Amino acid sequence: MTEKLFSSEIRVMELLWKNGGMTAKEIASALAETIGWSKTTTYTVIKKCVEKGAVIRSEPGFFCKAAVSKEEVQQSEAFDLVDRLFDGSADLLVSALIGSGKVSAEQIRSLRELVGKMEEE
């Protein structure tokens, strides 16, 4: 999948990642309850996800399944963010996060461990 998913499409994907697969009717019901979307809006967003290759639709019952994993989308979005806002520099992103003061000591410790493991490889 190469196309960017918009926040509305991510909402549909979150349901599919959490539940494995759902009918369009179930997705519409869940999103109507949680964020007030109409059935038409939900079906339109599902259709866009199918067109982008993020969702596989099958019959009967307009059954939908995620065609991409959450991790694939997270990685794609992370690279896009770094490219768009940090001139392709991941260290500037990390610096901005740590410098914000909103990263906990535990998260910083986890980042150090991750970097350490990557250096060993």
pLDDT band for position 97 (50/70/90)? confident
Q: Work out the angle at residue 38's Cα, subtended by the Cα atoms of residues 10 and 31, and round it to the nearest 5 degrees.
A: 40
The answer to whether residue 2 scores a pLDDT higher than 70 is no
pLDDT band for position 47 (50/70/90)? very high
Mean pLDDT, rounded, for 4-29: 96
Q: Hey, how many other C-beta atoms are within 10 angstroms of the C-beta on 72?
A: 13
Tokens representing 94 are 């990390």
> What spatial distance separates the first Cα and last Cα of the chain, rounded to whole Å?
28
Q: Read off φ and ψ for residue 21, nearest 5 degrees.
A: -175, 150
- Distance (Å, rounded) from C-alpha 52 to C-alpha 98? 34
Sign of CA dihedral 93, 49, 27, 8: positive
Mean pLDDT, rounded, for 42-61: 95
The answer to whether residue 22 scores a pLDDT higher than 90 is yes
